[in-house]
Structure 1
Amino acid sequence: MRTVVVTDPPRTPLDQLDALATFGVATVHEAIGRTGLVGTGLRPIQDGARIAGAAVTVLSWPGDNLMIHAAVEQCRPGDVLVVTTVSPSLDGSFGELFATALRHRGVRGLVTTGGVRDVAELRELGFPVWAGAQNAQGTVKATAGSVNIPILVGGVVVHPGDAIVADDDGVLCIPRETVEGAIAASEARTLKEAESRLAYQNGELSLDRNNLRGVLADLGVEYVKASNA
């Protein structure tokens, strides 16, 4: 495996990231055709956080956080650090000291397939994290990996500079080149959801609003009285 630190990848513009951050993961995911979710293996350590940032990617070896140290230098305001390992590892490779350094650089959060520790301190700092585990097991700094190369996170390929959106519902990756379209689609879906919300508040049924009665009929669903069931 080639070990490199790529220093100048193109990034999703900050104004686009800020626009994405106004939408929830579920809304964006539906708007872009239900793609890009990294799966259910990564969970937030906090409640209520919602971020969008440009991916700085890290490929490390199991039980080793050397490349996270290398990645900090490459981070800019608006970034999200995205970390995985060449084979599964849930060791606690990230903690409060890393978060302190990243906050100073304007990083918006961490997404990692591995483990994190110092969880109470991370929450107190208000540094958002989505991780594969909470684990006090420490790591070494002994094996070279790479920074800012394409990595695989939960079946999704994350390229450096891609947009990462994360909240209580999960983590979503949007290819950098498609972010503008994702924002437009998310705005349209948000408007549609607002119209539906108002309709439901006024008593309209989702069966009628979404024209689902015909779907039920086509599938052979019958309405019968309890006395005839």
Structure 2
Amino acid sequence: MGGHVVVTDIERADADVVAALAALGSATVHEAQGRTGYVGPDIRPIQQGAAIAGSAITVLTAPGDNLMVHVAIEQSRAGDVIVVVPRGDSPYGHIGELMATQMQVCGVRGYVTSAGVRDTTELRRMGFPAWTRHISAEGCVKDTPGSVNVPVVLGAAIVHPGDIVVADDDGVAIVPRADAADVLAAATARAEKEAANRVRYEAGEISMDINRLRPVLADLGVSYIPQAEYDRGGR
């Protein structure tokens, strides 16, 4: 369908799966789904210590215009994460304290955007987490149409409405809703393996041995030589 739309009846992911992915974190989830879904390093948290996951309410908006973000708040439910993507770079504060207050009262778990936010001190004070490309005091107008709950491209990831957004201090990863159970299983297995390796590291073993990296170095032609041989130009 062309034009500007607001899709009102999206499917959301299973709440237990969402909670479990939040506990595992963005890095583990990204690795577990084949190193995909990470939105990129330029979308960063404004706070530290927040770790969330939720179903995506997606917003496609004009740069410098937050009209459709207001619509997204209207469409949100408890457990959602609002994801805002402008059509072009938008170094404006698309939300601030007042819009965050509405989202928080609705039960929205957080806000992720490739645009900007403002009132960051207030957002941290009220405990409403946000991940953003820009922090800007400059606000938005409300006079350009856009769409809510349509596919958007957030940094390096495609986000469909209802996909799971996993966000923490390391960044943001997107899990397709249809793949959520499989990704959870893979991420859980990865976390269990890391926990077992942590015990071995704490006992004094090193990753060169645990991960069998010495044959990899040899195959790549990396050699170990004494300093004197290196000084003589030896290889």
What TM-score do the two structures reach when normalised by structure 2? Answer: 0.95
Tell me how far 1:62 sits from its aligned partner. 1.0
- Secondary structure (helix, strand or coil) at the match of 1:144 reads coil
Q: Report the Cα distance in structure 2 between the residues aligned to 1:80 and 1:142, rounded to whole angstroms.
A: 24
Q: Report the Cα distance in structure 2 between the residues aligned to 1:152 and 1:221, rounded to whole angstroms.
A: 40
Q: Report the Cα distance in structure 1 between the residues aligned to 2:206 and 2:45, rounded to whole angstroms.
A: 34
2:212 corresponds to: 211
| Residues 1:115 and 2:116 aligned together | yes
Tell me how far 1:225 sits from its aligned partner. 2.0
Q: Letter of the aligned partner of 2:49 in structure 1?
A: G
Q: Letter of the aligned partner of 1:196 in structure 2?
A: N
- Secondary structure (helix, strand or coil) at the match of 1:208 reads helix
Tell me how far 1:228 sits from its aligned partner. 2.6
Tell me how far 1:71 sits from its aligned partner. 0.8
1:145 corresponds to: 146
Q: Report the Cα distance in structure 2 between the residues aligned to 1:207 and 1:132, rounded to whole angstroms.
A: 36
Tell me how far 1:94 sits from its aligned partner. 0.4
Q: Letter of the aligned partner of 1:174 in structure 2?
A: V
Tell me how far 1:126 sits from its aligned partner. 0.4
1:179 corresponds to: 180
Tell me how far 1:217 sits from its aligned partner. 1.0
- Secondary structure (helix, strand or coil) at the match of 1:21 reads helix
- Secondary structure (helix, strand or coil) at the match of 1:149 reads coil
Determine what percentage of the aligned residue pairs are the same residue. 55
Structure 1 stretches of 4+ moved >4 Å: none
- Secondary structure (helix, strand or coil) at the match of 1:11 reads coil
Tell me how far 1:227 sits from its aligned partner. 2.8
2:95 corresponds to: 94
Matches for 1:1-229 after TM superposition, within 5 Å = 2-229=3-230
Q: Letter of the aligned partner of 1:148 in structure 2?
A: N
Q: Report the Cα distance in structure 2 between the residues aligned to 1:68 and 1:205, rounded to whole angstroms.
A: 49
CA RMSD of aligned residues (A): 0.9
Tell me how far 1:223 sits from its aligned partner. 1.6
Tell me how far 1:40 sits from its aligned partner. 1.4
Q: Report the Cα distance in structure 1 between the residues aligned to 2:114 and 2:71, rounded to whole angstroms.
A: 18
Q: Letter of the aligned partner of 2:135 in structure 1?
A: Q
Count of residues paired in the alignment:
229
Q: Letter of the aligned partner of 2:203 in structure 1?
A: N
Q: Report the Cα distance in structure 1 between the residues aligned to 2:151 and 2:223, rounded to whole angstroms.
A: 51
- Secondary structure (helix, strand or coil) at the match of 2:23 reads coil
Tell me how far 1:93 sits from its aligned partner. 1.1
Q: Report the Cα distance in structure 1 between the residues aligned to 2:146 and 2:193, rounded to whole angstroms.
A: 45
After superposition, what is the alpha-carbon deviation per residue over 1:41-73, rounded to whole angstroms, capped at 9, x for unaligned?
211000111100000000111111100111111
Q: Report the Cα distance in structure 2 between the residues aligned to 1:165 and 1:132, rounded to whole angstroms.
A: 16
Tell me how far 1:16 sits from its aligned partner. 1.0
2:233 corresponds to: none
Tell me how far 1:87 sits from its aligned partner. 1.6
Q: Letter of the aligned partner of 1:6 in structure 2?
A: V
Gaps of 5+ in 2: 231-235
Q: Letter of the aligned partner of 1:22 in structure 2?
A: A
Gaps of 5+ in 1: none
Q: Letter of the aligned partner of 1:78 in structure 2?
A: G
- Secondary structure (helix, strand or coil) at the match of 1:22 reads helix
- Secondary structure (helix, strand or coil) at the match of 2:115 reads strand
